[in-house]
């Protein structure tokens, strides 16, 4: 993100995939979309959790852009704001925070009245809802599991934006329910230690880690568009890196190559 988009240590929303005329960012999200589609092949609804180790790593911005990208590929997509503590997606999308997830789980609202359409065709949002006193318990409840199951029949993809894994445990029950988890990290912010902690937490519950999205990826040229780096599936490198301007850069890597990349990130942070 460019400097003017950083406020009080937190990264402001910038839905670059939908409103940017710059080719690099659009292609970056298309690359991430393609990797997710190819990583989760199954009949029916695909449930994806987007999380991060810590705050200010661009998780929510990235997850919304992924949802937009999937919707623009003619998929019916439901974005669920599962951050019942610090919900902010509703503000960025210009919708009400409630009714939402917490209202439904508390028996205060129905699913139909809580799901909201967006200005993006095929994209719907289930906001977080009213502030909950017990978010961890709510998200781990059988009611939450039943809610997700009930929504599957109506959508091609369900994207769940969760709180950072290393701060609270809210994301873990959802990661177990999901068909895959993508981890968002930020160059010069996320350390190797924090990333490894996140990976171990997900491995402990047998979650399927789809890959790692590196935000603020290094730009190799001064041009507005930088081509991707290609490799093979499996143990070798497979990913894309795009960038332009002052730091709208993204990279996607398969989980198998993440350990080396996270060490590189930590070395870069120390510079």
Give the per-residue pLDDT at 19.
59
Report yes or no: 69 and 35 within 8 Å, Cβ to Cβ: no
Digit-by-digit pLDDT tens for the chain (271 residues) are 333 333 333 334 455 455 555 677 778 888 999 999 999 999 999 999 999 999 988 899 899 999 999 999 999 999 999 999 988 888 888 889 999 999 999 999 999 999 999 999 999 999 999 998 899 999 999 999 999 999 999 999 999 999 999 999 999 999 999 999 999 999 889 999 999 999 999 999 999 999 999 987 765 433 332 332 222 222 222 233 332 222 334 455 555 444 444 455 555 555 5
As a whole number of angstroms, the distance between CA 190 and CA 214 comes to 9
Give the per-residue pLDDT at 219.
52
Give the per-residue pLDDT at 221.
33
CB atoms within 10 A of CB 56: 17
CA distances from 108 to 55, 87, 98, 129, 214 (A): 30, 19, 10, 10, 38
Give the per-residue pLDDT at 267.
55
DSSP letter, residue 12: P
Give the per-residue pLDDT at 39.
92
Give the per-residue pLDDT at 146.
98
- Output phi, psi for 106, to 5 deg: -90, 0
In CATH terms, the fold of domain 3-207 is Rossmann fold (3.40.50)
DSSP letter, residue 222: S
Give the per-residue pLDDT at 271.
54
Give the per-residue pLDDT at 5.
34
- Which tokens is 207 given? 């979650």
Give the per-residue pLDDT at 43.
93
- Residues 77/190/226/41 CA torsion (nearest 10 deg): -30
Give the per-residue pLDDT at 236.
25
CA angle 46-144-47, nearest 5°? 10
Give the per-residue pLDDT at 147.
98
Question: What's the pTM?
Answer: 0.78
Closest C-alpha among 240, 233, 236, 227 to residue 260: 236
Delimit the domains of the chain by residue range. 3-207
């Amino acid at each position: 993100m460019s400097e003017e988009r950083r406020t009080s240590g937190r990264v402001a929303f910038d839905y670059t995939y939908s409103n940017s005329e710059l080719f690099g960012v659009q292609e970056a999200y298309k690359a991430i979309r393609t990797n997710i589609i190819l990583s989760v092949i199954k009949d029916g609804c695909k449930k994806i959790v987007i999380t991060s180790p810590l705050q200010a790593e661009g998780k929510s911005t990235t997850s919304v852009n992924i949802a937009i990208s999937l919707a623009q590929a003619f998929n019916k997509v439901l974005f669920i704001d599962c951050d019942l503590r610090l919900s902010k997606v509703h503000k960025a999308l210009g919708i009400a925070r409630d009714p939402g997830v917490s209202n439904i789980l508390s028996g205060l609202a129905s699913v139909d009245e809580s799901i909201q359409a967006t200005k993006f065709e095929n994209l719907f949002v289930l906001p977080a809802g009213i502030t909950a006193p017990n978010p961890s318990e709510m998200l781990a409840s059988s009611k939450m599991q039943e809610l997700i199951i009930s929504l599957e029949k109506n959508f091609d993809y369900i994207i769940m934006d969760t709180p950072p894994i290393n701060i609270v445990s809210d994301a873990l029950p959802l990661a177990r329910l999901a068909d895959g988890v993508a981890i968002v990290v930020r160059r010069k912010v996320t350390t190797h230690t924090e990333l490894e902690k996140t990976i171990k937490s997900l491995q402990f519950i047998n979650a399927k880690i789809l890959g790692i999205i590196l935000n603020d990826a290094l730009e190799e040229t001064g041009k507005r568009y930088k081509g991707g780096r290609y490799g093979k599936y499996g143990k070798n490198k497979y990913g894309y890196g795009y960038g332009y301007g002052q730091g709208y850069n993204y990279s996607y890597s398969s989980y198998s190559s993440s350990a080396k990349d996270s060490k590189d990130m930590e070395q870069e942070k120390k510079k």
